[in-house]
Structure 1
Amino acid sequence: MDRIARRHGARAARSHGTVETEHGATPQTTGHTGHTGSPLRAPGRAGMAGMAGRIPAKVALPIITALAFGLFTIFRTHTDGTKGGPAMLYGLAAFVVSGALGLVVAHFQSSMLTETRAIAYGVVFGGSLGWCYSLGGEAILKSCAFGFTMGAVMFVVSLYVFRTHRVREPHGEHRPHKTHGSDRRHSLPVATH
């Protein structure tokens, strides 16, 4: 049992003879190498699941969203008649720029006020969709109006989500009111009889 556990990168529990990864099992990295000279990794889905567990959500979600936006951009340019390489370049540019902006917003969102964070999400979302809408051959004014509308919708939705989930916000409650020493009306002493 120990040999099988070491092969998969965990220690076997001495009491039960089973591998308990949730109770502090650590990978054995000394002396075990594969045929390429690198430490053994779990093959297939176990290796991917282990790697996915190490990527934080504030990195993974903007990248996945940017990938979806890049694919949508390729689809949108095909509706205008652009085929092949140029459509792929538009999709790649959309992936890189929206991914970079998403990572910046995700990185700095914990230091932003609720309204500022909602505006940032609205600007990135509205600007991206307005630009992508213009790739289909639409007029600039119509694309700007579409982007502004989608940005406003994202602002309202983000603000609603951030305000209703205050407990999960990184900086705590939205502008909590503190009682000051000079203002005694809010903190009256308890009557003693």
Structure 2
Amino acid sequence: MHAHAHRPGHRPRFSARTAARVAARTEVPARRRTDARTDVAAGGRDERGVRAGERTGAAPARTRAQHRTARWTVPLLIGIAYGAYAWFLARDERFTTEATVTGLVAGAAAAVVAFALGRLRRPLVAEVRAAAYGAAFGCAIGYLSSLTGPSILWSSVLGLGIAAGVTPVVFYHLHTHEA
């Protein structure tokens, strides 16, 4: 409330009726409590098809638009960053067409993998999703390592080690942060 709202003779901006209408429109619907027996009989859903304990309010349009934009911008930024770093490692202190093509292909591949992991996030169980994230991250690091000059064996071992470390971390995160 503003400091000048209590001044004598001050006229409020909205009438009480308008303020009540605005408050009614912006109220967030509460979770609906249902009887546990009807939940089991209805397959865990009420007459509207809503699961027990699930929020029934729709997300605001701006939030949905932001999520829609993030679906492709995050993989695109990952692809650009990965491709730029691959180009930097492959150029060997001189500008070559080979390094440019390497950076473009590596960036496109990273963007496609990031987009696919983002789209397949919900249907996959946590174990498979953790393995997919671990494999993608291990392959990415192994490939970047191979661009710096060590043997393929060392790059493969490094990639496998990174994948073996990332997989349980992602698995732990998924099981502790998802409902």
Matched, 1:57 2:63: no
* 1:69-111 Cα deviation digits (max 9, x unpaired): 1111112113x45633221111100111111111111111100
Aligned to 1:73: 86
User: Do the aligned residues in 2 keep the contact of 1:73 with 1:132 (CA within 8 Å)?
Assistant: yes
Summarize the Cα distance change of 1:152–1:54 in structure 2 as closer, same or farther, 3 Å threshold: closer
Count of matched residue pairs: 122
Could you list the runs of 5+ residues in structure 2 that have no partner in the other structure? Answer: 1-13, 15-24, 26-64
Shift of 1:59: 2.3
* Identity rate, percent: 27
Segment drifting more, 113-122 vs 52-61: 52-61
Aligned-residue CA RMSD in angstroms? 2.8
Letter in 2 for 1:146: L
After the TM superposition, which residues 1-193 of structure 1 pair with which residues of structure 2 at under 5 Å, given as runs?
Answer: 53=66, 55-78=68-91, 80-81=92-93, 83-167=95-179
Paired amino acid for 1:68: A
> Contact 1:59–1:106 (CA<8 Å) still a contact in 2?
no
3-state SS, counterpart of residue 56 of structure 1: helix
Q: 1:45-67 CA deviation, whole Å, 9 max, x = no partner? A: xxxxxxx8474323222221111
Distance 2:173 2:94 in 1: 38
Q: Determine the C-alpha separation between the residues in 1 that align with 2:159 and 2:131.
A: 13
TM-score normalised to structure 1 length: 0.55
| 3-state secondary structure, aligned to 1:112 | coil
1:109 alignment partner, SS class? coil
The separation in 2 between residues aligned to 1:121 and 1:54, in whole angstroms, is: 20
Q: Provide the rounded CA distance (Å) in 2 between the counterparts of 1:142 and 1:94.
A: 20
CA gap of 1:54–1:110, structure 2 versus 1, over 3 A, is closer
* Paired amino acid for 1:96: A
After the TM superposition, list the runs of 4 or more consecutive aligned residues in structure 1 that deviate by more than 6 angstroms. none
State how far apart, in whole Å, the 2-side matches of 1:71 and 1:54 are.
25
